[in-house]
Amino acid sequence: MTNDALRPEDLARGMVGRLSPELRARLAPLCSETRVVEGRRLFSTAQERLDESVLLLDGLMGRYVRDKQGRQQMVAIQVPLDFVDLHSFPLGSLDHEVEALTTARLAVFPHETLRAALRDDYELMEALWRLTLIDGAIHRHWTFRLGRLRALAGIANFLAEMDCRMRIAGVGEEGGYALPLTQPDLSDACGMSPVHVNRILRELREAEICTLAGGHVQIMNRDKLYRTGDFRQDFLYDIL
Amino acid sequence: MTNDALRPEDLARGMVGRLSPELRARLAPLCSETRVVEGRRLFSTAQERLDESVLLLDGLMGRYVRDKQGRQQMVAIQVPLDFVDLHSFPLGSLDHEVEALTTARLAVFPHETLRAALRDDYELMEALWRLTLIDGAIHRHWTFRLGRLRALAGIANFLAEMDCRMRIAGVGEEGGYALPLTQPDLSDACGMSPVHVNRILRELREAEICTLAGGHVQIMNRDKLYRTGDFRQDFLYDIL
DNA sequence: AGTGGCGCCTAACAAATGTTGCTGCGCTTG
DNA sequence: CAAGCGCAGCAACATTTGTTAGGCGCCACT
């Protein structure tokens, strides 16, 4: 009962690339199909019943908490080879919305298939559990960023985190990485007004640290970026 | 192979109280012992290797992310019947520190014992997985609070969340609840300066919403507290 | 070709938040 | 008992951040 939807070698990078080759080989056939969704489209809503989880293969997706006043806060961003909503497998639904930020290619894992496999594969189960916990560790990192860092450090920290994660995902380069986010997007992620995001980006530009233009982050001084953002290079490596 | 350290009826409230009676009966004997730790003591440090997880029976514990500059952000707070560091079971270590905020009584679950039991109990495994994911949902809620709410709403939101969780834990009352946190503690949790916390508490007091004094939150107008904090009463119930 | 929307950018002003420094009080500790 | 320390409270001032408003350019419509 092999499946052509996803080959084990597709899982050799990014977050899932941290799993052992054996585990990746057991995970791949649990994918029922791949799917493409358009950018800037709501993918799933809070409280909606879900019977499948998806792994992001290409593109960017964002997760949002919204309140009645229409305020919206991005609570997570997924880069290629991240599971987007694996936590809906044990939970059954999500407490937030998921949106495709760009056109995205997804690998679909039906919960039924997962459950059947994990019942007989304790090792794989614990590995997937661990992946959802890394998600939690990144949440804590965001909590720290939003709670303790001023705007300049906060933006720098976010851009540094994305740099790290993009490189792990295999889509980063020495000089920077593609980040198709607008300034309003950044303001959703970093908890500040779009106008202030603009101010800070100018500051980063004038300090010759990095620029964000045309959906691309160009890093002029990576070391300074990481220091400005108080970002520990090893942070993501420790938990991955 | 029963164990007197923890009786199933001890688990009938709080977060773990949401598990079915059958699951609680299977969970209780996995506790090896109970332990008491003193307040304001570091309980475990980041990156430390852990071979047991603990469930908080009494008291309060806080989880902190610290950076080299000494800034410290509380990223989670545990109320009775919360698992404090269950995520260290799949992960092996934590990315943050844990501190007892008050004298605390703990139920200890050795990882070895857990692993042996969960290998043969898929249902219990998924239930514990789910508990760690609820932790993540609360993280997202904090991200929203820190990113989107101004100081007044932020403090109100935090106090409302604690009200909810204390009641679920069975230690809340109609008129308020014990919260042995200082104003500096609150500033760690809410991402603002202690002086500003003081200002906001005065505002809440003068608006006759609630007071925090002597380690006790007195709620004069719960409805107004929840509305000021933009807190959905049902939030925690949905995810629990 | 015109038009509308949206993102980027800036400036001026308003409001929120941080910092510093001081007081007083209660607790612990010597 | 005195000294020291940490917390609550407050005020004055500095800094950061939000808000409002407007201009420009690009792109997708019609």
Neighbours of B83 (CB within 10 A): 23
Give phi and psi for A93, each to the nearest 5. -160, 175
Compute the nearest-CA separation of A32 from chain B (Å).
Answer: 22
Fold of A8-142: Jelly Rolls (2.60.120)
Structure-token pair, residue B208: 């006759």
- For residue B197, give the nucleotide whose C1' atom is nearest its CA: C17
Output the distance from A159 CA to D13 C1' rounded to whole Å: 34
| β-bridge partners, B55 | B83, B107
Q: Each residue of A29-45: pLDDT tens digit? A: 999 999 999 999 999 99
Output the distance from B99 CA to D2 C1' rounded to whole Å: 33
For A226, the 3-state DSSP assignment is: helix
DSSP for B79-128 reads -TT-BSSTTHHHHSB-SSEEEESS-EEEEEEEHHHHHHHHHT-HHHHHHH
Q: What is the mean pLDDT of residues B179-203?
A: 98
Output the distance from B144 CA to D9 C1' rounded to whole Å: 30
Q: What is the mean pLDDT of residues B36-56?
A: 96
Query: Taking a contact as any Cβ pair under 8 Å apart, which residues of chain B between 91 and 120 contact chain A?
Result: 91, 95-96, 118-119
Neighbours of A25 (CB within 10 A): 14
Reported as a pLDDT band with limits 50, 70 and 90, residue B156 is: very high
Which of B 8-67 have CB under 7 A of nucleic chain C? none
The verdict on a CB contact (< 8 Å) between A143 and B148 is no
**pLDDT value at position A213?**
95
Question: Is strand C within 7 Å of residue A148 (CB)?
Answer: no
Reported as a pLDDT band with limits 50, 70 and 90, residue B1 is: very low
B2 has a pLDDT exceeding 60: no
Q: What's the CATH code, domain B149-239?
A: 1.10.10.10
**pLDDT value at position A1?**
45
Compute the nearest-CA separation of A199 from chain B (Å).
Answer: 18
Q: What strand order describes the sheet that includes A97-100?
A: A41-44, A97-100, A61-66, A72-78
Spatial CA neighbour of B101 closest among B73, B50, B61, B54: B61
Low-confidence residues of chain A: pLDDT under 50: 1-2
Task: Judge contact between A128 and A135, C-beta under 8 A.
Answer: no
Spatial CA neighbour of B232 closest among B164, B167, B185, B137: B164
- For residue B150, give the nucleotide whose C1' atom is nearest its CA: C16
Q: Are strands A176-178 and A216-219 parallel, antiparallel or unpaired?
A: antiparallel
Reported as a pLDDT band with limits 50, 70 and 90, residue B3 is: low
Question: Is strand C within 7 Å of residue A198 (CB)?
Answer: yes
Least confident range from B17-21, B211-215, B234-238: namely B234-238
Output the distance from A197 CA to C5 C1' rounded to whole Å: 21
Structure-token pair, residue A167: 């490189």
**pLDDT value at position B120?**
97
Indicate the residue of A68, A135, A148 with minimum beta-carbon distance to B136: A135
Structure-token pair, residue A236: 């993501």
For the A150-239 domain, the top CATH level (class) is mainly alpha
Identical fold for domains A8-142 and A150-239, yes or no, is no
B234 has a pLDDT exceeding 80: no
- Chain C: positions less than 7 Å from a protein CB are 6-12, 16-21
What is the separation, in whole angstroms, between the first and last Cα of chain A? 30
Which candidate in A68, A93, A141, A144 is best for mutational testing of the B interface (most B CBs within 10 A)?
A: A144
**pLDDT value at position B70?**
82
State chain B's mean pLDDT as an integer.
95
Q: What is the mean pLDDT of residues B102-108?
A: 97
Question: Is strand D within 7 Å of residue B202 (CB)?
Answer: yes
Q: What is the mean pLDDT of residues B16-38?
A: 97
Which sequence spans correspond to the domains of chain A? 8-142, 150-239
Q: What percent of chain B has pLDDT over 70?
A: 97
**pLDDT value at position A2?**
46
**pLDDT value at position A235?**
74
CB proximity B146 to A under 8 Å: yes
